[in-house]
Copies of this chain bind each other. A is one copy, B any other.
Amino acid sequence: MKLPPGVSASDFAAALEKFAAVVGKEWVFSSQDDVDLYRDSYSPLWHEEDERVPSAAVAPDGVEQIQAIVKIANTYKIPLWTISTGKNLAYGGSSPALSGSVILDLKRMNRILEVNDKNHYALVEPGVSYFDLYHYIQDHKLNVWIDPPDPGWGSPMGNSLERGGGRTPMRDHFASVCGMEIVLANGEVIRTGMGALPESKTWQQYKYGFGPYVDGMFSQSNFGIVTKIGIWLMPSPEAYRDGVVSVPKHDDLIPFVDTLSFLIDSSVVRGTMLLDSPLLSYRASQGGSVLDMPGGPTVAETEKLGQEKGLPYWSMELHFWGPPNVIDAQWEYAKEKFSAIPGATFKDGRYYHFPMEVKDTDAVPWVALGIPSLSVFGLIAGGNGHMDFSPIIPMQAEAVFEVLSAFGKAYADLGIEPKNQFFSLPWCFFPHSFVLLFGFPIAHDVEKNRESRRAFQRLVEVAAEHGWGEYRTHVAFMDAVSNVYSFNNHALRRLHERVKDAIDPNGILSPGKSGIWPKRLRQQRA
Contact = CB atoms under 8 A, between A and B. Distances in A.
Given A210-B481, A220-B210, A268-B326, A202 B514 contact: no
B325 A332 contact: yes
Contact of A217 (B212, B431, B493): B212
A401 interface: no
B212 A215 contact: no
A219 interface: yes
A121 B322 CA distance: 27
A261 B144 CA distance: 12
A515 B201 CA distance: 22
Given A191-B487, A208-B219, A261-B120, A468 B399 contact: no
A322 B268 contact: yes
A188 B488 contact: yes
A225 to B, nearest CB: 14
Interface residues of A, number: 104
Contacts of A513: 211
Contact of A514 (B204, B212, B466, B516): B212
A503 B499 contact: yes
Contact of A393 (B202, B261, B267, B433): B202
A213 B516 CA distance: 13
A288 interface: no
A172 to B, nearest CB: 9
A493 B323 CA distance: 44
B201 A394 contact: yes
Interface stretch (A104-112, A378-386, A470-478): A470-478
21 contacts: A119-B261, A119-B395, A119-B396, A163-B208, A184-B491, A191-B488, A192-B492, A196-B469, A198-B464, A201-B394, A202-B469, A205-B432, A206-B392, A208-B471, A210-B469, A210-B472, A211-B513, A212-B219, A212-B220, A216-B216, A217-B217
Given A234-B265, A266-B322, A267-B267, 4 more contacts: A178-B432, A198-B487, A266-B323, A328-B329
